[in-house]
Amino acid sequence: MSNTANEVAHPGVIIQISGPMAEVMILSKSACNSCQVKGACNMSEMEEKKVFVELPPEHSYKSGQQVNVIMRQSLGNFAVFLGYILPFIILLLTLIIMLTLGFGEGIAGLVSLAILVPYYLILHNSKDKLSQKFSFQLSAL
């Protein structure tokens, strides 16, 4: 669901509030809503996700309240870049370099896949720093 051209909003429910943080459950849906045969599918395309949102100092939110969880669209694009596009570029470059250096296709493919392990470990270890960049906001429904 889109609020404006710059924001992405999903409806959610506040599960609990502890200090300045609220735990919000959102229902993530695929593009099935616009499909003509969505009734024939199962509910595997819907997934509950929990996100933590920092609340402003003077807030009036309560547990159980329905809210919109808002994130800037540019942050979503950055997440796609970090999670999918950059690893693909690394994999492709590694494969080309390995083949150019004369390694066999099997070895080049395995090394290209193996190079992604340190990438995702670095990404995982950077989650605290990244979580500061990827911040959500709440708005009442």
Angle, CA of 125, 78 and 34, to the nearest 5° = 120
pLDDT at 88: 97
- Counting residues of the chain whose pLDDT is more than 70, the rounded percentage is 83
pLDDT in tens, 102-141: 999 999 999 999 999 999 999 999 988 887 787 788 888 7
pLDDT score of 55: 86
| Residue 10 pLDDT | 84
**In this structure, are residues 48 and 56 in contact, taking their beta carbons and an 8 Å threshold?**
no
Q: How many CB atoms lie within 10 A of CB 54?
A: 13
Residues of the chain with pLDDT under 70: 1-5, 28-46
Question: What pTM was computed for the model?
Answer: 0.65
State residue 13's pLDDT score: 92
Q: Where are the domains of the chain?
A: 7-140
The mean predicted confidence, pLDDT, of the chain is 84
